[in-house]
Structure 1
Amino acid sequence: MPRKQLSGCQKRKKRKRDEELRKSQAGAMLKFLQKQPQGANVVEEHVHGKVDEHNVHANVDANVEENVVGANVKEDDVVANVEKDVVGANVKEDDVDVAVNEIDIFDPRNWGGLKSNMINVLVEEGPKRDLTIDKGPKNKSGRRFSATLYTRTLANKETCDRSWLVYSKELDKVFCFCCKLFRKGVSKGQLDNEGYGDWKHVTSRLKEHETGFEHLKNMTTWYEMRQRLKANKTGVQAANEQFKK
């Protein structure tokens, strides 16, 4: 019959084997436990990598959006500036309209203190006549203005319109449109200043005035300025059409 209990030698051998096995297992567990943090670090680095990549993409997207927004802002600024210019032009035109409404620029009594923008309008439009007035009121000697003074008879019997001549019903006087607007220095007659109302000598006075050097020079200034304003206006209209296209 075999013995049920181990001998002392066998017990010592068994304890030795158990001790070696325990040590070997302890080493294996240690190695296993050392690998876990490394795996965790790898996972953590992977997570941080994803986060950094996400941040990079976010920054890139933000920069792209900022650039796009900046481009839009610049484009809006351009449109705003253009609209501002257009609005500014409209405001100037409105100012002229308001000024025309407040001051009758076609009344010869107001031609002495007009602003440049009002003069431009007046030059383009020319003087306005009240064609309903055929004759003015009679003075003490029974003489009066007549609409026939608007027409000049040349030496060859041809007739032409005195476009520069304007009659003021309120003052009962006639004026030279271009000389009153463009006269420089001291006035040389009543036609370019307070008006002429001597109906007895008005015919000879008009003939003398319209052949004078100062009158011809002022007529040239009027015509040239009117052509220049019309040319500039046409150029502005063409530019506006091109801008709209």
Structure 2
Amino acid sequence: MKRRLIAAAVLGMASLGLAATEDIRATVHNLSTYSNPAQGGTNEVCVFCHTPHGSNSDFVGAPLWNKPIDTTVTFQVYGGGQTTGGTAVDQPGDVSRACLSCHDGVSGVNVVINAPGSGNYDPNGIYLDYRGSTQPWRMPFPFAVGKNGAGGNYDLRDDHPIGVVYRGDDTNPPASLKPTNTPITGWNIAGDKDGNPGPTIGDLLRNGKVECVSCHNPHLNAPRFLRSGDGNNNSNLCRTCHDK
């Protein structure tokens, strides 16, 4: 009996450290599921976001990006530019703008600059078949986090702040945020971003800021693509950073 209890405890602790795996084919980000090659679409999975050749060289926020992005767009940001802790909220960083190139509710989900095959390049964008249409297919509300109601107004005021420096001025940080060197377990994290033994909260930041990819991995086979892998059960994702 004692051995069985010990074995069960070991298995339980091991499960806490398990992270979801990256396999975009099994997620709703596999846009080829809704694309018909016979109608101007494709069965290629990655091409909706990435291309090995002819990528958007004006945008460095994501690898080999296959979408035109208007980087001059100004978003309405959370709190009018300041969190309740007094930290400034800036415009979304490049890595978040990559997500918003579909999720702003204004851009076409099915637009690429380099479609599969030879001679299918256009820096202004080519529309692949998606859900039976080769016209711009825009993300509907509420999945379009930058669009509230009818018409795109690039409104992020009611969403978790992105482009915000974590803890702000670290000499006088908000008491509710844990230090960046706080170890975390069970998350899907690749690489050491902050140089601290980890994984740590700092590994979730980009240029010291909270961005979309701090909590989400678009390739992850997990609820809502959350890096925590558990769909925020018991608010585990929120409480990783917030000391509440």
Question: TM-score, structure 2 length as denominator?
Answer: 0.26
Q: Which has the higher contact order (CA 8 A, sep 6+)?
A: 2
* Structure that is richer in helix per residue: 1
Q: Which has the larger radius of gyration?
A: 1
